[in-house]
Structure 1
Amino acid sequence: MITTPVDTTTPLVLLSGLAADARVFTPQKIAFPQLHCPAWLPPHRQESIDEYAKRIADTLEEGPCIVGGASFGGIVALHLAEHVDAQAVILIGSIKSPSQLPLYARCARPLRSLVPFIPIRFLQLLARPIATRAIKRHGPFAYGLACQFRDSNPVVFRWSLSRLLDWSSTPAVSCPVFHLHGDRDWTLPLRYTDPDKIVAGGGHVLSLTHPDEVNAYINEILHKNLSK
């Protein structure tokens, strides 16, 4: 059962993760009518996360809002909070600073120059067998992720991966940051983070696998924001 929001007036902006789109927030879009999930903009060559976040901010309506995101989208949301009137930042299966990147990501930093050579189109072709109706019936979660990766923009994917590997500065966010994380997140393992709330049995894509917990957490933050 999806929780009814306590506040439907405060704009809520959530950014999807690497190789994902607004479909990852489908349960939240049902529960929160004020939710806006901006599409990933085509990045400029060598554009920093902060410069990119500023361009996203220019596409949003002015005024107080709550921003957030899943995974890489949460990282961008931290930078976005510096360019909008953010009342709070919500991180869903994400991290607050470069120091919380897992060991494998930090070890891969010297290989960032190889990112342009990743055969994204070929990998998307490999994902097609998973994005079929048969898989949808028996494994809807895998089907959804495969569809998002299949439809993702290779240019955006490469830029996002490069920025993740060279992310080095923690944004100076002036509003509260709320962090929800799954204890079975193998992409951004819990042991490297310090979330405010942990979802038992939750993996990396909490918004789809544990929508009730995510919606309740967003409700809690909306309530805190409303009662200021």
Structure 2
Amino acid sequence: MFTTPVDTATSLVLLSGLAADARIFTPQKIAFPQMHCPAWLEPERSETINDYARRLAETLDEGPCIIGGASFGGIVSLHLAEHTDARAVILIGSIKSPSQLPMYARCARPFRFLIPFIPIRLLQFLARPIATRVVKRHAPFAYGLACQFRDSNPAVFKWSLRRILDWSVAPTVSCPIFHLHGDRDWTLPLRYTDPDKIVKGGGHVISLTHPGEVNSYIKDVLRQESLE
């Protein structure tokens, strides 16, 4: 299921998505030992994505690198590329611009003032029954997502959700952007995007459900950039 580890010196930085962490890239970490998935910083009050990305870049000890991310992590990676020596950006089940946000996200924008009132702690408590050994045995994918949501930082979750809804300007990225997307992604539907490659049968978390295709795509990007 996983690809053979890739022998390359090119640094690879991938950002996890909303309510997710480095566990979402477990198959990629096996294939790319040089991969780094930085933890989400505690956001400052009313901090923009670009300001957040600038602050995140200051914590990275990276030279020339490939930046990327899944879902919301891909959006942040576009801004992070402006503040690092990024040679390419890889979007994994993500989008390139606000115009590619699905209709439900655009309709939710007027209600973003309600985000502070979302009972994240309660929802995390309600997710506990899914994060059990029984579920892990019979539905490991649901178990993994429940564990990540249970362990996520409520402040980061609410900040990320608000930044998605008020994202209005895509950054100007000077390096190439590579985009991989599942054709059954209902969170960020394919019809709103224009990916370079489509993963057949892939949902929103293709890094876990289709690691072979994702790892192969990343490997091709790394190889292409190393030849330039």
Shorter-chain TM-score range: over 0.9
Partner Cα distance (1:183, 1:224) in 2: 25
Number of residue pairs aligned between Structure 1 and Structure 2 = 228
Q: Which residue does the alignment assign to 1:134?
A: 134
How far residue 61 of structure 1 moved from its aligned partner, in angstroms, is: 1.4
Query: CA contact under 8 A between 2:6 and 2:31: conserved in structure 1?
Result: no
Hey, what does 1:167 align to over in structure 2?
Answer: 167
Indicate conservation of the 8 Å contact 1:6/1:223, yes or no. no
Deviation at 1:177, TM superposition (A): 0.2
Q: Distance in 2 between matches of 1:6 and 1:134?
A: 35
Secondary structure of 1:76 counterpart: helix
CA contact (8 A) 1:90 1:177 kept: yes
- C-alpha deviation, 1:63, in angstroms: 1.5
Is 1:188 aligned to 2:204, yes or no? no
Structure 2 partner of 1:157:
157
Shift of 1:7: 4.5
**CA 150–168 in structure 1, closer or farther in 2 if over 3 Å, else same:** same
Alignment partner of 2:52: what SS? helix
Q: State the Cα RMSD in Å.
A: 0.8
- Aligned mates of 1:150, 1:213 — CA distance in 2: 28
- Segments of structure 1 that go 5 or more residues without pairing to the other structure are none
Rate the CA distance shift 1:7–1:177 in 2: closer, same or farther, 3 A: farther
Match of 1:217 in 2: 217
Q: Secondary structure at the match of 1:59?
A: coil
Question: Pairwise mapping of residues 59-74 of structure 1 onto structure 2 (< 5 A)?
Answer: 59-74=59-74
Shift of 1:207: 0.4
**Matches for 1:1-228 after TM superposition, within 5 Å:** 1-228=1-228
TM-score between both structures, scaled by the size of structure 2: 0.99
3-state SS, counterpart of residue 81 of structure 1: helix
Identity of aligned residues (%): 79
Runs of at least 5 residues in structure 2 that lack an aligned partner in the other structure: none
Cα distance, 1:79 vs structure 2: 0.1
3-state SS, counterpart of residue 187 of structure 2: coil
Counterpart AA for 1:195 = P
- The 8 Å contact of residues 179 and 196 in structure 1, kept in 2 or not, is answered as yes
